[in-house]
């Protein structure tokens, strides 16, 4: 399963792909910079939120499913109705949440039950792609190869997700390509 950094980058890319990425601010301060930070932070938090189930001992179950995805999308759409962008924000929030499910599905899982309960509430079966695009996050810091494994895992995630995020931003801002 990807690291929190990987999940955050994937969620920002997915959210910006749907809602549009904010323009790159010219200065460090001001409304454009605040909008960029708020947008990225909001989508990143949505991408990290499914792992809150670790606190409940139910990791990779309900929060990693289309049921949770639909609930988040509908809640965000309802909250966004006041600003007139309800469905767009609902879809963007759902995309950010869905990125977590997708990345975990493409990851490596070393704990039983293997995979994620992606299709709940339709089924309680667990699914994993089997391609292992994202290596397992090593949590046993006392092992001698911890830093080597962690560095390799982070390099792979960044090598996949940073270009993805850049491509999404570039595609959403044709006027800034000059």
Question: Per-residue pLDDT for the chain (178 aa), expressed as one digit of tens each?
Answer: 899 999 999 999 999 999 987 776 565 667 767 777 888 999 999 999 999 999 999 999 999 999 999 999 999 999 888 777 778 889 999 999 999 999 999 999 888 899 999 999 999 999 999 889 999 888 889 999 999 999 999 999 999 999 999 999 888 876 655 5
Specify the pTM.
0.91
DSSP 177: -
Q: Which residues pair with 116 in a beta bridge?
A: 127
> Would you call 116 helix, strand, or coil by DSSP?
strand
Task: Provide the 10 A C-beta neighbour count for residue 154.
Answer: 16
DSSP 3-state percent helix, strand, coil across the chain (nearest 5): 65, 0, 35
Task: Tell me the C-alpha to C-alpha distance, in Å, between residue 151 and each of 3, 9, 145, 160, 163.
Answer: 11, 17, 10, 14, 18
> Would you call 176 helix, strand, or coil by DSSP?
helix
């Amino acid at each position: 399963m990807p690291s929190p950094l990987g999940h955050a980058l994937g969620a920002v890319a997915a959210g910006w792909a749907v809602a549009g990425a904010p323009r790159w601010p010219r200065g460090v301060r001001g409304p454009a910079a605040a909008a960029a930070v708020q947008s990225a932070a909001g989508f990143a938090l949505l991408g990290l939120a499914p792992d809150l189930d670790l606190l409940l001992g139910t990791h990779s179950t309900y929060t990693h499913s289309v049921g949770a995805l639909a609930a988040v999308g509908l809640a965000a759409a309802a909250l966004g109705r006041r600003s007139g962008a309800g469905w767009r924000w609902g879809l963007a929030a759902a995309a950010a949440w869905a990125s977590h499910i997708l990345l975990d599905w493409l990851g490596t899982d070393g704990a039983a039950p293997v995979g994620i309960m992606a299709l709940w509430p339709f089924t309680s079966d667990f699914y994993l792609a089997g391609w292992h695009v994202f290596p397992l996050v090593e949590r046993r810091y006392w092992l001698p190869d911890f830093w080597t494994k962690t560095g390799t895992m982070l390099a792979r995630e960044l090598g996949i997700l940073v270009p993805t995020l850049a491509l999404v931003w570039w595609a959403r801002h044709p006027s800034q390509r000059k």
